[in-house]
Amino acid sequence: MDIFVLFSGGKDSSLSAILLEPFFDVTLVTCNFGFSDTWKFARDVASELGFPHKVLRIDGVVLETACDLAVGDGYPNHAINHIHLCALQSAAGTMPATVASAGVRAFIADGTRRDDRVPMLELPDAQRLEDTYKCVYVRPLLGYGRRAVNLLVETHLEIAEDESEKIEKSDYEAELRAIIEERHGFGMVDEIFPRHVQSRVVRRKDRNMPANG
Amino acid sequence: MDIFVLFSGGKDSSLSAILLEPFFDVTLVTCNFGFSDTWKFARDVASELGFPHKVLRIDGVVLETACDLAVGDGYPNHAINHIHLCALQSAAGTMPATVASAGVRAFIADGTRRDDRVPMLELPDAQRLEDTYKCVYVRPLLGYGRRAVNLLVETHLEIAEDESEKIEKSDYEAELRAIIEERHGFGMVDEIFPRHVQSRVVRRKDRNMPANG
């Protein structure tokens, strides 16, 4: 069964893909609004992990709306959630249909974890997504807390850490930062996004395990 | 890393074990209160699946309390949740410590799914369990909805279905039914537990995949 995993190049979406790998044919999918080429980093990590990779182009109006939300709120949570839901809908609606059984058109997945607050779909929104798009939406890390994720990451991935703006990433924040900087200047970016240590995936440690890529 | 999966012999806990198998050394654990030998069915399914199996003896007072809760409520939900939390605490506290890193004593898991209502720990209860027992609590199916679980079960397991009371099972309901029948008669059992189609695992289909057992 094919599954399309929303992929930022970060450790959570990488680990999600690794957990799905023995049971599905995994393709990594990175969203891009055509505003800046932030997807390139994810493509490189996908290649390092050994998975096929696609770029999913999403209507720029989603990013515009997210920009307005973030600037209006003064913090990024609603904006990130808005992008994430649109990304899931877009993936569910456009990825090639490969599963015929049980009225399911496609399998999609992401890297959201049990203890995450953003991005995160509430249960009724997850069920609505599945019903509307005849898809199956899987969150392999939803049953894993922070410590479990850290231990699995340590086993399977080599990680580098640095402050947010120094780390090259392909997550939603990357293009959102870019559009806010263009429209409102870097001061606004710095006001909206808390500075915190971010991580990026350097390579996979578990090369003895099978890879689909 | 060792992980102990609470195991009823049913399809959800079986599938949980299968999802964990490529990443952990899985041992299946069936709870028993010493009231009736309901664990024997789970032992046979565990052997069929190819996993090592343990019986976890839990204080009979937990079953007594659950019996009172079910009879008092007229439905089994609180009773089942009470048993489940005690079972998790008992597993977290008594399974052999095997993980030294990150202050974690043991990994435990169960088969609760995204759309389940009972048994189900709320997020703060799951976090409290982990903090209190220095354990990692993993729910591999929490990010999987009904359709996803059905499709994976179909791929990996052969299942037989019948009405609740005709199916031999090792879940909490089995011993709870037994004690309620002894104390209050079968009429009370029939009143408390809704009749519905239950399933049991017959065998594993994916014999080409690696098994730890």
In this structure, what token pair is assigned to residue B103?
């202050």
- H-helix or E-strand spanning residue B203: strand B197-204
Domain count for chain B: 1
Instruction: With respect to residue A212, please indicate whether it lies within any of the assigned structural domains.
Output: no
> From first to last of its 213 residues, what are the pLDDT tens digits of chain A?
899 999 999 999 999 999 999 999 999 999 999 999 989 999 999 999 999 999 999 999 999 999 999 999 999 999 999 999 999 999 999 887 765 566 788 999 999 999 998 999 999 999 999 999 999 999 999 999 999 999 999 999 999 987 756 667 888 999 999 999 999 999 999 999 988 787 889 999 976 555 443
Instruction: With respect to residue B211, please indicate whether it lies within any of the assigned structural domains.
Output: no
Angle, CA of A13, A18 and A19, to the nearest 5°: 95
Residues of chain A in contact with residue B138, where contact means CB-CB under 8 angstroms, are 143-144, 148
In sequence order, the 6+-apart residues with CB closer than 8 A to the CB of A57 are: A32, A33, A34
**Which among A177, A157, A180 is positioned nearest to A165, based on CA atoms?**
A177
**Which among A103, A19, A91 is positioned nearest to B151, based on CA atoms?**
A103
CB-CB under 8 Å, B151 with A102? yes
Instruction: With respect to residue A210, please indicate whether it lies within any of the assigned structural domains.
Output: no
Give me the CATH number covering residue A125: 3.40.50.620
Instruction: With respect to residue B26, please indicate whether it lies within any of the assigned structural domains.
Output: yes
Please give, rounded to a whole number of angstroms, the shortest distance from the CA of A107 to a CA of chain B: 8
Q: Which residue of B has its CA nearest to A140?
A: B143
Instruction: With respect to residue A211, please indicate whether it lies within any of the assigned structural domains.
Output: no
pTM: 0.93
Scanning chain A, the segments in alpha helix (DSSP H) are 11-20, 39-49, 60-73, 77-94, 123-133, 146-156, 172-184, 186-192
Instruction: With respect to residue A213, please indicate whether it lies within any of the assigned structural domains.
Output: no
Q: Which residue of A has its CA nearest to B106?
A: A148
* Closest by Cβ to B104, choosing from A115, A147, A155: A147
Instruction: With respect to residue A209, please indicate whether it lies within any of the assigned structural domains.
Output: no
- H-helix or E-strand spanning residue B181: helix B172-184
Owning domain of residue A133: 2-204
CB-CB under 8 Å, A138 with B144? yes
Model ipTM?
0.93
Residues of chain B in contact with residue A209, where contact means CB-CB under 8 angstroms, are 22
For residues A45-83, b (16+ Cβ closer than 10 Å) or e, as one string?
bbebbbbebbbbebeeebbebbbebbbeeeebeebbbbb
**A158 vs A48: CA distance, rounded Å:** 11
**Which among B25, B57, B53 is positioned nearest to B41, based on CA atoms?**
B53
**B138 vs B193: CA distance, rounded Å:** 28
Handedness of CA A166, A168, A172, A174 (dihedral sign): positive
Instruction: With respect to residue B19, please indicate whether it lies within any of the assigned structural domains.
Output: yes
Q: Which residue of B has its CA nearest to A24?
A: B152
